[in-house]
Chains A and B, each alone.
Chain A
């Protein structure tokens, strides 16, 4: 097993996975406590639409994914607050709508004589399920930069982060700019989705962000303790998931998510056991 860790390709995958895992709870804690968990699923599928549009109009895929996801996140938030539209209905609309549009646009693209792109980019499946094995050093560099910037921001504005998670209106009356906070938060969510899309796939991104926090919340600790436990669970799930994926030749994104779910099941069982005894 030690040999796996000595393999330079696995080391690269591990670094990318650990960076994703370290960023995830910083975003996930706010998503779960504000009940935005499904938002990421909807936005990751909007990211797919961005990729389809990018292929169609021959612009870089990451730019297409980032632009559409960011616009959609602002649109969803505006519809939620301004027109009081229910969040779950919006999620359903964006999730299925963007998936449907992606399929149509990719179909148009292939029929337009660009079928060779399917071989080059692996078709829609490669973005649904992702492949961390194909991660580039550039992606790793951007992830590392994101970790540093987001880490500093969360540490510096931990009080504002906590207040916004607890109650948006009380945060506003305490002087927090709700608009600016949400703009920056959705920017971070979009950047994470864009970077993670090709690595773990749109179907798994939400699970990476949400499940470690959910599992950590079972322990009934305070806000920042919950964050650090989620961080530990996220990092350990990534190492174990990637190792199992490598050993048994399973898709890595799915393995990481399954290990995270394993943590959740264990902690729920432990919580129930403690309640009974």
Chain B
């Protein structure tokens, strides 16, 4: 089943600044796609478009087989933005409240509280449950929002540079967690600047610099190839077989 289908997506900021040009790709159920690209390559814009956070100017997006504007199954999607929680540090909410807000009753869990506690434990922040969001470090807050995204066991997990503000000691734990979730069948789209992690963990790689520079099965592309594509804009497309 195709979970995400992006066809000829084009986007520009204002009249002049082109952010994406004719981007097309598909993500199948159970896939783990890594999206690589430099600053300003359109990675975040691409994610925002496929999650409906920006208005599509040209092209089409389908989620779970439905056109984006008709899609209503948002509880199937977990999203972790690059900069979580840009609000007031005095925001009156506990970690528990934030994680609980991500819970959608999909008849999979024995109870909401169990699901919330499991998600907190999975992200190693069970001990922070009653703390206020504003009291936590940037890294801890990021983990709270990762737990929020996971609490309903989404079918598709979308992460935009998830390690930007987390401490290096937790980075590897997060990638291990993502590998485990993928092994259990979760479809994952990971936007990252970390070539090593994407090359090691993902099943497919999409290299982006406003347009698709390369799309390939991860095992078919070497680290040198990746560097060459991203540095020189050389286009390599390995189609699905």
Segment 48-105 of B: residues with Cβ below 8 Å from A? 51-53, 72, 74-75, 77, 79, 81, 84-88, 90-94, 96-98, 101-102, 104
| A170-B93 contact given A33-B88, A163-B101, A175-B75, CB 8 Å threshold | no
A residues within 8 A CB of B52? 172-173
A residues within 8 A CB of B96? 222
B residues within 8 A CB of A172? 51-53
A residues within 8 A CB of B93? 162, 166, 222-223
A214 to chain B: closest residue by CB: B90
B91 touches A33 (CB 8 A): yes
Least CB distance from B73 to A in Å reads: 8
Which of B72, B92, B98, B102 has a CB less than 8 Å from the CB of A217? Answer: B92
Segment 152-179 of A: residues with Cβ below 8 Å from B? 159, 162-163, 165-167, 169-170, 172-175
B97 touches A223 (CB 8 A): yes
Complex alpha-carbon distance, A42 and B187, angstroms = 46
B residues within 8 A CB of A33? 87-88, 91-92
| A175-B72 contact given A166-B85, A167-B84, A226-B92, CB 8 Å threshold | yes
| A174-B102 contact given A167-B84, A220-B132, CB 8 Å threshold | yes
Q: Give the total number of A-B pairs whose CB atoms are below 8 A apart.
A: 65
Least CB distance from B41 to A in Å reads: 21
B102 to chain A: closest residue by CB: A174
| A173-B51 contact given A33-B91, A222-B92, A222-B93, CB 8 Å threshold | yes
A173 touches B74 (CB 8 A): yes
A166 touches B91 (CB 8 A): yes
Instruction: State whether the Cβ of A35 lies closer than 8 Å to any Cβ in chain B.
Output: yes
Complex alpha-carbon distance, A175 and B79, angstroms = 12
B residues within 8 A CB of A217? 90, 92
B98 touches A166 (CB 8 A): yes
Complex alpha-carbon distance, A225 and B148, angstroms = 21
Contact with B along A87-120 (1 / 0, CB 8 A): 0000000000000000000000000000000000
B residues within 8 A CB of A170? 79, 81, 84, 145, 148
Instruction: State whether the Cβ of A121 lies closer than 8 Å to any Cβ in chain B.
Output: no
Least CB distance from B225 to A in Å reads: 33
What are 5 residue pairs bridging A and B, where the CB atoms are less than 8 Å apart in the complex? A166-B101, A174-B101, A174-B102, A175-B75, A223-B92
- Show the binding face of A for B, using Cβ within 8 Å: 33-35, 159, 162-163, 165-167, 169-170, 172-175, 216-217, 220-223, 225-226
